[in-house]
Amino acid sequence: MLEPREVFITKLMAHITHLAMIPKVQVERAIAPILGLFIAELLTIKWSKEVVMICEEFPVRKPPVNDKSTYQSTNVDWLLYNASDDQLVFLELKTADSSFDPLQVGMYGCSINKIRKQGSSFLVEDLKEIRGVSLERGKYEQVLKCVGDQRYLNCKKAKLVYLAPAAIRDSRREDPETEVEWLSFQDLPDEVSGELAAEWRIIRSHLVQMDSITRHCRNAAQYGGERKNYGDTCRFEQMLKLCEANGSGIVVGFYGGAKKLRSATLDDLKKRPAFKWDSAEGGRGFKNNRNWIPGGKFLEIIEGLMDD
């Protein structure tokens, strides 16, 4: 017979799993505080390294725009420290196969490359500058306390990790253009130690269910089994105009992805009968992301071919 606390966590996780099927519900926000209780220990077990939590929702300053500094930031879900390797870990949580954002990866990648080149102390300097213009100085003070350990300030190693449904992991982890370590929920250890061990077994069993909830299965009934996975098609010139107007708000189908597109010739592309495209968010059917290119990236590659 389950203990009352186990009954509660079972009902809570079943409710959260149900919310994954509801439009506009940000399931990450429901899961992150729960998973945050375990994540450092889970990574310690998974990697056989000593991993400690630094801060949840750690603000990372956005890169300059037109060489002009910005005080805006984006928050990485968890900033952790791998003490065994003296390495910072940017860990991002996703709960839907349709929520991956390549621009976010690029933004974190810029910070990680900067850490490797000059060390991590700039993270604190950025926080202090943002605090200086924020109406929530107290909150930034709290974050600064979290990163006060000198080990965190002198790192020259860092990596980006995504914890996401298997559908994202399997389609993205072989992408040569992104330096990301991918974990799915089923990759998380079965057991943890301590007083929450029973709760973790229940939590993990529900998280693993999200590995198999894809956009395709969410919408299969809507499309009556239809396998179409794109919104529309158009010719080359129209595709360029759509990319100019929508940027990475759309994706363009191209077998082999960005790498294959770079090896194509403009003449062949112009003769192509049609290009498939779809909305980046809320598009149709299941997509293998290896064969879909964000509109902004597609346009950038084409412009490069035009300059050759």
Q: Which region among 149-153, 191-195, 209-213 has the lowest average model confidence (pLDDT)?
A: 209-213
Mean pLDDT of the chain: 87
Q: Which region among 165-179, 212-226, 279-293 has the lowest average model confidence (pLDDT)?
A: 212-226
Check residue 129 and give its pLDDT: 94
Check residue 199 and give its pLDDT: 94
Over residues 124-138, the mean pLDDT reads: 94
Over residues 28-54, the mean pLDDT reads: 97
Q: Would you kindly state where each structural domain of the chain is located, as residue ranges?
A: 4-213, 230-307
CB proximity list for 239: less than 8 A, separation 6 or greater: 252, 275, 277, 298
CB proximity list for 182: less than 8 A, separation 6 or greater: 161, 162, 164, 168, 169, 172, 173
- Is this model's pTM higher than 0.75 or not? no
Give the pLDDT band (50/70/90) at residue 1: low
* Token output for 165: 């449904």
More confident residue, 163 or 174: 163
Looking at the predicted structure, is the pLDDT value of residue 225 above 60?
Answer: no
Check residue 301 and give its pLDDT: 94
* Token output for 214: 């894809």
